[in-house]
Amino acid sequence: MTLSSEEVERYARQIVLHGLGGPGQNKLKVARALVVGAGGLGSPALQYLAGAGVGTLGIVDDDEVALSNLHRQIIHGTGDIGRPKTESAAAAIQRINPHVAVEPLAVRLDAANARPVVSRFDVVLDGSDNFATRYALSDACFHERRPLVSAALGEFDGTLTTLKPYEKGADGRPNPTYRCLFPDPPEPGTIPTCAEAGVLGALGGVLGSLMALEAIRAIVGGFGDGDEGLVGRLLMIDSRAMRFETLRYAWDPDNPLSGIRAAAEA
């Protein structure tokens, strides 16, 4: 795969990066990234992935644009109210970068359909707003051996991690799964929705941009010396205190996907 002269000029500031270069840009050009949720997290992630030159972007969302979305879901505009989010986001991506192909999927992912969808892409970004989708998606990425970038938004806080549980870490142990970090979903009603508790739009922009950065890292295979990423690390952002912290977490031998019992039964 080679870049056209127009693409070389478009991505010039990325191509000169020693940790990316022409080979990395070509990897982005042929990559297929799936973004689940074209909302507060997916909106900035999609825009930066499109700008970076990821060749194909899949967009999963079964909702329509509402006026109350627009303070944080910045890929959509006032004129898009009532329009399917996949359609609105696809149009915005084409305005950003006509070299990017878009595959809109106006569905809700669940345990029944997640694996066939995930299998068609190289990397998955989870910006969903419900726990059923999160667990179905993380399980599907484990079984299909796809890297998963997972983020969550609170009122003034958020978290981000990258999962590659099909690989082993430097210590020879498997990388953790999503279920190693969060073994079980919370009881229904214990975590308020953003409609109930509110959400700070700019914080979604920060986390969504970081999601795109982690996805690009996964596609190009890292950025050279000093590269670490968020595999086995949970980034926690507290916007009130303006504090960024990382928590290390590890493989749980009792987890139902890659734990000792699961391996014995495989």
SS (H, E, C) 123-142: EEEECCCCHHHHHHHHHHHH
C-alpha span between 61 and 68 (Å, rounded): 17
CA distances from 83 to 33, 87, 258 (A): 23, 7, 41
Quick one: tokens of 161? 């991690």
Question: Is 180 assigned a catalytic role?
Answer: no
Quick one: tokens of 95? 């305005």
- Which of 194, 236, 250, 262 is the catalytic position? 194
Cβ contact 43:73 at 8 Å? yes
Give bridge partners of residue 57 from the DSSP assignment: 33, 102
Catalytic positions, please?
194
